[in-house]
Structure 1
């Protein structure tokens, strides 16, 4: 696999927006079921909003939060802040008040731009729950909050806003102020360099504490450009993804791959299979980027057989023409990536995507992206392992994160600049094979869940004595989030394994699980809430000699309990 030519523009957002408008101005840039925006409109609207933001003191290094669902407004607000040199910090729209409070305090946001409400989320009420002093505000001007000491301004869309929030107009964009201000915005963009930080994306760490991954303009745009080139993305392509833009999957593999290659980015605020199928057909989508659960929903929808998907060339095996896909879906080549590497660090070319892996390499996750180095090491000794031996995956290269927010570099990288991914795998003849995770982090449906975060809330419940959260393998979501709890009040397990309690008590155990799930709602994002909470006894907890719990044994126990429920 050869490294594609470097981008033929200076890899900064201001330069990308200017170049894209010149080359592809009238072409579709972003499309949703209800909106459409061209490359020229993105450049113009983001410049107008940037002028407004500049008058509010936002500039190079300012930390600007983006609280929007996928769509045109998200892209305009991001581009406007980024072209001024601000550090953009996407906010997860799923965050409940406790999660939002941790995020806002850790991220040091100075400005928050966003919507006042989305679906059932009332962000005005949620922000007042995070910072109770907001409710007492009786005047405008810069915010001074003891709970969020760095935050100075909150600008929201919507009507009937509280006095502490200024009104934000993203689309249609506010009018230009004057030519002099336009010149200032242009000059501010010229000061942005590829080495400057562009994005802080938050992902769950293994401890459950906020983990802000910092990426620069150059690495993000160059990697997105390279991934697009390797995958055959060009100006005639239309990439659809429902993955949230607040995560690297949607942002890099969706939006930036399209922007840097002149392709159209097609997305939805929320995923609905029927709407998605109509969008795929109407927009002649060529590339799908989605999790297995999403593709399964598309395939199982009643409209799938009658939907015209002949334009599709990648991402949805069953809909791609036979001459554009491997003869066997088991030969489809995967990829492995993470927030810290700007997305995939193993990948495949467009030709490999169509042909599939050689039979001898069935199940491969591709080959290293050129410019990214890999090592497979023994996690205990740190020594390199021979080809074919499974160990921890280390990465180093141009797309690697600049660092973690509020973390010393020495705690992020080793002495030689390698990043320890926590993933396990091995190489064979240059092809990579992924075998699992080194640590406890659960990956479900493209999202990271830290067991410690969920366990801490369960342990705070009076009915719970011990709590353990694990990921159980699932062919659709990757892993399912499952909790095992030892009840404090003697509630019986929900199964017969290791227990002789009568079925009436077992029903009490099932009721406890549902009750605990109900109490987690409103405190955790929905994807973090365990799909099942299974009561167990003290004697079933698999303790090691070190007095640590055996996580692998917990996973095995959870699988047996779930199977026992099905057969009971």
Structure 2
């Protein structure tokens, strides 16, 4: 990535937060000093974990790790220590960069660490070198580390530029977590094309609206609930050229209101395994193709297999999962099976289920099996099934169906100890038995039907 960063005008603005503004020269200098520090104190470290809130130092660390030729592993700050320990082990993380120390036995350094000296020789990345490991969750609930190569990240940035347009004059606002693909992808696009990156610690409606107006923001990445809140607060176009919305389809009323205000909303479909988006519906197409995620972004190819599953091929697709090759989803002819069900009509992709059991709540992925495995530890819970219930604010919320008599406080404590709060069931339904087929497999669609009937 450094080969592109050094080409940008050195006095042009690279990074802006509430507390600091850095030119490309200053960002490069800070990154090189952190890289020198890491090389000195942890020369043998290969995988470097990054656990911190959004900040200028986070972006500096991303650049520093790539200068060293090390593998970046972003970690979700909302995870419990139990979940975090599992991911550290899975990804073979050698050291952590943190904004606050955590109570785990692993070498940790402050995100603000610097040496006076700078790294002398930056690493030159080859396209097939693994540059980052980013976690997603499998349907078994076990976290999987997705391998993302330098070539994956560059191909993703180039494809986004071709489809949506990114350049040196753009000002990109990040309000989603940098440990998510939607946030990290913007860092690499900025580095590739010289755009100015504005980073907020979290999504705040008032602050976001102010920045869109005063900083003349051109690009912002959101999930639907964020867009809804901005619209409710009076969002206007100003200098916006793109509002990229992922994490599930945008409801028609939101699209219609965005159209009325001439807001350029682009719906997108992608996944961690494809290093961000692989299909995007352009703003001009939004109302003509309601429910669609758009056309594939060249050179990515999409197809639907005989089971209705979306398969993808192209330079942004992961080489596979780290240390879990048995989970890789390749077809014999080189397509990645996404696990998502969809159709393609006249070249436009329609995603029907982001995996049949996946719950997307406020842009966060929640896997029912993960919740079920924790609740089954509770004495008295004989069986449990979790499904998503449509929610006007969050898109969906988890609902737990339980069999047996148990201590509710004990169940809540188990959830608190093992799962981030957004994964906790928001509703509980007691049943005599769960619907299972002859092989014992839970029929979630029956639970969804039962929940629909009970909530009417």
Whether the TM-score (by the shorter chain) exceeds 0.5 is: yes
Report the counterpart of residue 521 of structure 1 in structure 2.
416
Q: Counterparts of 1:123-272 in structure 2 under 5 Å?
A: 123-124=101-102, 126-127=103-104, 131=105, 153-156=107-110, 169-170=112-113, 173-176=114-117, 182-183=119-120, 185-186=121-122, 189-190=123-124, 192-252=125-185, 254-272=186-204
Rate the CA distance shift 1:424–1:211 in 2: closer, same or farther, 3 A. same
Rate the CA distance shift 1:396–1:413 in 2: closer, same or farther, 3 A. same
CA shift at 1:456, angstroms?
1.3
> What is the rounded CA distance, in whole Å, between the counterparts of 2:194 and 2:453 in structure 1?
50
Rate the CA distance shift 1:560–1:446 in 2: closer, same or farther, 3 A. same
Rate the CA distance shift 1:560–1:30 in 2: closer, same or farther, 3 A. farther
Report the counterpart of residue 396 of structure 2 in structure 1.
479
Report the counterpart of residue 387 of structure 1 in structure 2.
none
Report the counterpart of residue 506 of structure 1 in structure 2.
none
C-alpha contact 2:128 2:149 (8 A) present in aligned 1? yes
Rate the CA distance shift 1:213–1:285 in 2: closer, same or farther, 3 A. same
Q: How many residues align?
A: 446
Report the counterpart of residue 347 of structure 2 in structure 1.
430
CA shift at 1:227, angstroms?
0.3
Report the counterpart of residue 91 of structure 1 in structure 2.
75
Report the counterpart of residue 115 of structure 1 in structure 2.
99
Rate the CA distance shift 1:543–1:322 in 2: closer, same or farther, 3 A. closer
1:224-271 CA distance string (max 9 Å, x none): 13203321222222122321111111111x222222222122222122
Are residues 1:346 and 2:240 paired?
no
C-alpha contact 2:385 2:401 (8 A) present in aligned 1? yes
> What is the rounded CA distance, in whole Å, between the counterparts of 2:81 and 2:364 in structure 1?
19
> What is the rounded CA distance, in whole Å, between the counterparts of 1:455 and 1:435 in structure 2?
24
* Higher share in strand: 2
Are residues 1:405 and 2:318 paired?
no
Rate the CA distance shift 1:319–1:104 in 2: closer, same or farther, 3 A. same
> What is the rounded CA distance, in whole Å, between the counterparts of 2:400 and 2:261 in structure 1?
44
> What is the rounded CA distance, in whole Å, between the counterparts of 1:100 and 1:347 in structure 2?
32
C-alpha contact 1:403 1:409 (8 A) present in aligned 2? no
1:524-560 CA distance string (max 9 Å, x none): 112211222x132214x22323332211111121233
Report the counterpart of residue 248 of structure 2 in structure 1.
none
Report the counterpart of residue 452 of structure 2 in structure 1.
559
Residue from 234, 255, 268 that aligns with 1:335: 268
> What is the rounded CA distance, in whole Å, between the counterparts of 2:227 and 2:260 in structure 1?
18
Unaligned 5+ runs, structure 2: 245-254
1:345-374 CA distance string (max 9 Å, x none): 1124xxx42x22573x33321101111122
C-alpha contact 1:228 1:258 (8 A) present in aligned 2? no
Report the counterpart of residue 384 of structure 2 in structure 1.
467
> What is the rounded CA distance, in whole Å, between the counterparts of 1:323 and 1:376 in structure 2?
35
C-alpha contact 1:334 1:363 (8 A) present in aligned 2? no
Unaligned 5+ runs, structure 1: 1-12, 117-122, 132-150, 158-168, 327-331, 380-390, 490-511, 564-568
Residue from 215, 218, 225 that aligns with 1:286: 218
CA shift at 1:36, angstroms?
2.1
Rate the CA distance shift 1:225–1:58 in 2: closer, same or farther, 3 A. farther
C-alpha contact 1:470 1:481 (8 A) present in aligned 2? yes
* Higher share in helix: 1
Report the counterpart of residue 371 of structure 2 in structure 1.
454
Residue from 524, 532, 544 that aligns with 2:437: 544
> What is the rounded CA distance, in whole Å, between the counterparts of 2:363 and 2:439 in structure 1?
33
Rate the CA distance shift 1:397–1:476 in 2: closer, same or farther, 3 A. farther
Tell me, what secondary structure is at the counterpart of 2:38?
Answer: helix
Which stretch has the larger CA shift, 435-444 or 207-216?
435-444
> What is the rounded CA distance, in whole Å, between the counterparts of 2:425 and 2:448 in structure 1?
14
Tell me, what secondary structure is at the counterpart of 1:24?
Answer: coil
Rate the CA distance shift 1:319–1:113 in 2: closer, same or farther, 3 A. farther
Report the counterpart of residue 276 of structure 1 in structure 2.
208
Are residues 1:535 and 2:429 paired?
yes
Are residues 1:312 and 2:240 paired?
yes
1:267-322 CA distance string (max 9 Å, x none): 22122222222222221112221111112222334xx37xx751223218689786
> What is the rounded CA distance, in whole Å, between the counterparts of 1:342 and 1:226 in structure 2?
11
1:102-147 CA distance string (max 9 Å, x none): 111111111111112xxxxxx43x32xxx4xxxxxxxxxxxxxxxx
TM-score by length of 1: 0.73
> What is the rounded CA distance, in whole Å, between the counterparts of 1:562 and 1:322 in structure 2?
33
Report the counterpart of residue 47 of structure 1 in structure 2.
32
CA RMSD of aligned residues (A): 2.5
> What is the rounded CA distance, in whole Å, between the counterparts of 1:373 and 1:562 in structure 2?
40
> What is the rounded CA distance, in whole Å, between the counterparts of 2:146 and 2:153 in structure 1?
12
Tell me, what secondary structure is at the counterpart of 2:222?
Answer: coil
Higher radius of gyration, 1 or 2 = 1
